[in-house]
């Protein structure tokens, strides 16, 4: 069944199912199919209390009108879905991996999240209306409309906690979350990888769930899929009542990480800093082909590293690009305990000034 009467391409249940987190699928199996908590726990191979917490958390999220509406719509046809198409066992299906060039939801989600990257923007949707609108509020009483998207796309973004907000009367307002910024980085890098024909090479940096990707992640000390990046952890920290990393520093880190994903650089635990620099030095010259985008990304990394200088470059590269934790970076750089975050903040300030001098928006790298 279709969820939208829009003249745009219709979004149906089959399009939405892959975007549902595993916890939501468990919730629907329990509430719609009548599966017991213990039965679901046995099928998933976890303790019953784990499934119960996931079910309760999903139920609690129905206070959000977008989440509630999406779950209500999906529930109407949940029992008609083939069990082998649900893929709810194990980890959550990640649309960043599942999305393709022809995926309608992925295209809408990328466009909406890109427009929400600026602090002055928000997504607004009115109860009973099938279209969500992204507005730029810089002009106060006369906000500028940046883009539109089907209501279902806004609901999916809210369900995956890539946007969050509040409702006032009939209107709900949402802003991008830190996890939404991470998701946007990955979707844009994946799209760029397809454009330049290096999709397989890039997938180790896009969270692909494969044995080789997990092995490479372990070799580089990167976080496991689904956990928060070191930057996001520090972003939640506070110093003297203020965020330890302000939005400008986070955006600089995002821009640096995105260039790394687009550059297709291969690194390993044994390559060390010299291996990274060697990979950059071996970058081929522009040839007028689609691979020039990858080459441009590498040049932007070189420019950023030069702006940082050798003392700060390795710290910023290790944390922002390879997503190594503070303790590991302190050990590798032989720094005193708990001193790494201070060095990282200094490095991000250098990056922020560098990007400000370069101009352009960090979310306009796909062209």
Residue showing tokens 């699928």: 25
Structural contact between residues 159 and 21, judged by C-beta atoms closer than 8 angstroms: yes
Query: How much is the pLDDT for 324?
Result: 85
For residue 288, pLDDT beyond 70: no
Model confidence pLDDT, tens digit, residues 165-185: 888 778 899 999 888 888 887
Torsion of CA 349, 352, 356, 359, to 10 degrees: 160
Query: How much is the pLDDT for 291?
Result: 66
Give the pLDDT band (50/70/90) at residue 352: very high
Give the pLDDT band (50/70/90) at residue 296: confident
- Going by C-alpha positions, the residue among 219, 213, 187 that lies closest to residue 200 is 213
Query: How much is the pLDDT for 289?
Result: 63
Structural contact between residues 204 and 217, judged by C-beta atoms closer than 8 angstroms: yes
Cβ-based neighbours of 193, under 8 Å, separated by 6 or more: 199, 201, 202, 203, 206, 262, 264
Buried b (16+ CB within 10 A) or exposed e, 7-41: eeeebebebbbbbbbbbbbbbbbbebeeeebeebb
Model confidence pLDDT, tens digit, residues 299-323: 888 889 888 887 788 899 888 888 8
Give the pTM: 0.56
Query: How much is the pLDDT for 48?
Result: 87
Model confidence pLDDT, tens digit, residues 135-161: 988 766 678 888 999 999 999 999 999
Both structure tokens of 177:
């979350």
Query: How much is the pLDDT for 151?
Result: 92
Q: Give the separation between CA 174 and CA 168, rounded to whole angstroms.
A: 11
- Tell me the pairing of strands 131-136 and 121-126: antiparallel
CA 160-165-169 angle, 5° bins: 130
For residue 43, pLDDT beyond 60: yes
Give the pLDDT band (50/70/90) at residue 219: very low
Structural contact between residues 260 and 222, judged by C-beta atoms closer than 8 angstroms: no
Q: Work out the average pLDDT over 226-254.
A: 79
- Going by C-alpha positions, the residue among 230, 203, 244 that lies closest to residue 318 is 230
């Amino acid at each position: 069944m279709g969820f939208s009467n829009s003249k745009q391409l219709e979004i149906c249940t089959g399009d939405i199912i892959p975007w549902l987190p595993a916890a939501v699928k468990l919730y629907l199996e329990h509430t719609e199919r009548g599966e017991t908590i213990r039965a679901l726990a046995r099928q998933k191979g976890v303790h019953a209390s784990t499934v119960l917490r996931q079910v309760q958390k999903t139920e609690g999220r129905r206070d959000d009108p977008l989440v509630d509406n999406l779950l209500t719509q999906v529930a109407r046809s949940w029992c008609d879905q083939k069990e082998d198409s649900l893929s709810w066992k194990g980890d959550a299906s990640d649309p960043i991996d599942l999305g393709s060039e022809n995926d309608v939801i992925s295209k809408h989600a990328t466009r909406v999240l890109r427009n929400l990257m600026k602090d002055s923007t928000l997504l607004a949707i009115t109860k009973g209306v099938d279209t969500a609108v992204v507005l730029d509020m810089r002009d106060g009483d006369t906000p500028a409309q940046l883009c539109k998207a089907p209501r279902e796309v806004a609901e999916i973004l809210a369900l995956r906690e890539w946007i969050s907000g509040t409702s006032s009367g009939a209107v709900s307002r949402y802003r991008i979350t830190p996890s939404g910024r991470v998701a946007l980085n990955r979707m844009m890098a994946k799209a760029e990888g397809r454009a330049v024909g290096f999709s397989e090479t890039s997938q180790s940096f896009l969270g692909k769930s494969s044995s080789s990707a997990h092995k490479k992640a372990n070799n580089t000390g990167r976080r496991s899929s689904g956990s928060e990046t070191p930057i996001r952890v520090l972003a939640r920290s506070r110093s003297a009542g203020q965020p330890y990393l302000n939005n400008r520093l986070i955006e600089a880190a995002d821009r640096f990480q995105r260039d790394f994903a687009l550059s297709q650089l291969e690194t390993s635990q044994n390559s060390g800093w010299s291996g990274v620099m060697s990979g950059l030095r071996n970058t081929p010259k522009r040839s007028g082909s689609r691979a020039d985008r990858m080459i441009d990304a590498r040049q932007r990394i070189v420019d950023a590293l030069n702006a940082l200088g050798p003392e700060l470059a390795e710290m910023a590269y290790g944390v922002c690009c390879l997503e190594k934790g503070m303790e590991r970076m302190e050990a590798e750089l032989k720094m005193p305990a708990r001193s790494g975050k201070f060095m990282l903040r200094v490095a991000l300030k250098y990056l922020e000034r560098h990007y400000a001098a370069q101009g352009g928006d960090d979310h306009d790298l796909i062209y």
